[in-house]
Structure 1
């Protein structure tokens, strides 16, 4: 027989459990650096759940490339409502799956270095690909691709695989933008400098670079902001390359088959508010997609500012991607 105390506890907790069970769930496919406890994901989840009367659930995949591959495999049966973690190099390929819906959102709040009027993808941050180096291991880093390619044999770098990683694909586009048809030959020359090619950015940065395995890694011009603001060190810096840097815009989109479309659209609107965007600079360590004014951390004023920017339209990237990856694979196996 239940005691009076047990009955009282049940009377209090059962409505709470029932209420929680009634809350709709928004399922967002994303990557580890967004959803990690040190990333923007937890803060975004808390802020959004306060206004949505829902549960925000992250399905964490290894990289932006894996998000795209999972969508392809699952097709219209995917449980994803929103995908967050694709970028300008992968969005056209994602669109070709037929699984991405138009967002019908206002983009007036955007503050990007390029014009944006895409009907399917909404930016949530942006940055430039760059090589980050350890000043204690490498006091005088190479300051151009040519310098890097012709540097001493003992200089080693870490990059990411363009088949699975958006920064890895970004490096292909960067090299292609600089060298054009000569890029495959330059890759063959660079091959001897590559210590490791990791599946994702996180694998290379935290497991290898931060453990001193190599003095340089493909990352972002914004990466030093975290070290300066949070770690309180100037040890890790980005090199400004003479040729210029490739621009990346990271995006999110509504999935066509979502059963939570109104909630997903509410989340896409939320992405372009300060409540979301203030988590970007030091948690995703990128530039915010809107103007944060004085809320942008001061360390961002100390970052490199590329004099020349490379950027290929998403449709052009989709048309060249397979050939660029094949050229890269050939160069890596010579």
Structure 2
């Protein structure tokens, strides 16, 4: 009789373990899918932590390989965002979502009803917003990519038995080089503000009409400082020809410079908003659509005196965009090396 009870207990234990491994397999497979919203994946991350609260022993080599492969696939998307529409916001979003994700998957209870985890009531915002030309859609994509990247990063650290750090591993800022265009113009790390004076070094004279029939003359300048960059229109000071007063400032990121094919003296720029309103994906997508209407891209068409001036302005933008992108990539590079992050985590 005693032996019979032992057999029953053993069989029940085996059955529980079998179910546990089935759920683990399903969750790991879920994290490898690209057509699942980040919010749903975060819920899956919480469930995984509940399933394996203390030990990494239940992860087999196949699980670890799948998680690592998914993470490496996601790193290419992060690198694309360093050259995308919102590179100046990438690090802030990474740090913010890291804290939120850690808090979510380590919580003692789920954020919402388990039924909604299994049957989400709405599509991800990235599915709702289909306009590839909109900076709002690009911003939604950025948040979605970062959420998935952060979750995969934290799950890998957890899967090898390490404790999640409170902050992601980001390189610190460095001093602006003395040879930078911003330094030569006299612009500090706070960036250009309307009505301040700056040196018109490298600035290119141009014309632009913000209203029909009202063309204005400016000096156009592009500068970047660290992970921030700006497009500047300045008025030249009559008494100080090499200096100007800033009149208009716009973000450098996502400006998509393009020289007009028919008018080679014209330079077209997309002007995205300077900030991106955070959209809570748990809210109804209709609310997001209302907010998206307030986030409209502007357009500048700058007319230069000759083709060489237009090409010089275009080259200046490309150069500063590259500097901005390289600095963002330099700072997030430690996060892209999952082994380095794991080594710096504590048991």
Do Structure 1 and Structure 2 share a fold, with TM-score over 0.5?
no
Q: TM-score if structure 1 supplies the norm length?
A: 0.25
Higher relative contact order, chain-length normalized (CA < 8 Å, sep 6+):
1
Q: TM-score if structure 2 supplies the norm length?
A: 0.24
